[in-house]
Amino acid sequence: MKIVDLELYHSSIPLHTPFKTALRTVTVAESIFVKITCDNGIIGWGEAPPTHVITGDSLASIHYTIDKVIRPILMDTELSSYTHIFTQLEKAIVHNTSAKAAVDMALYDCLAQAANQPLYQYLGGRSSAIQNDYTVSVNAIDQMQKDAKLYKENGFDILKVKVGKDPAEKDIERVAAVRKAAGEDVLIRLDANQGWTAKEAVKSITKMEELGLNIELVEQPVPAHDIEGLKYITDHTATPIMADEAVFSVHDARRVLEMGACDLINIKLMKAGGIHQAIKIANLCEAYGVSCMAGSMIETKLGITAAAHFAASHPAVTRFDFDAPLMLSGDILEGGIQYEGKGNQITFSNQAGLGIQSLKESYLKGINKERSW
Just list the catalytic residues: 162, 268
Closest CA to 26 of 47, 48, 46, 52: 52
- DSSP summary character for residue 290: -
Burial environment of residue 287 by CB neighbours within 10 A (0 to 12, 13 to 18, 19 or more)? exposed
Closest CA to 341 of 151, 182, 159: 151
HEC letters along 335-365: ECCEEECCCCEEECCCCCECCEEEECHHHCE
Contact 310, 337 (CB under 8 A): no
Torsion of CA 197, 199, 201, 207, to 10 degrees: -150
Write down the H helix ranges in the chain: 59-64, 71-74, 82-91, 97-114, 119-122, 141-153, 168-182, 198-210, 227-236, 250-259, 269-272, 275-288, 301-313
349 phi, psi to nearest 5 deg: -80, 175
Closest CA to 251 of 94, 357, 116: 94
Q: Strand order of the sheet with strand 345-347?
A: 129-131, 345-347, 338-340
Alpha carbon separation from 263 to 159, 237, 288, 324, 352 (Å, rounded): 19, 11, 10, 25, 35
Mark 11-44 as b/e (b = at least 16 C-beta within 10 Å): bebebeeebbbbbeebeebbbbbbbbbbeeebbb
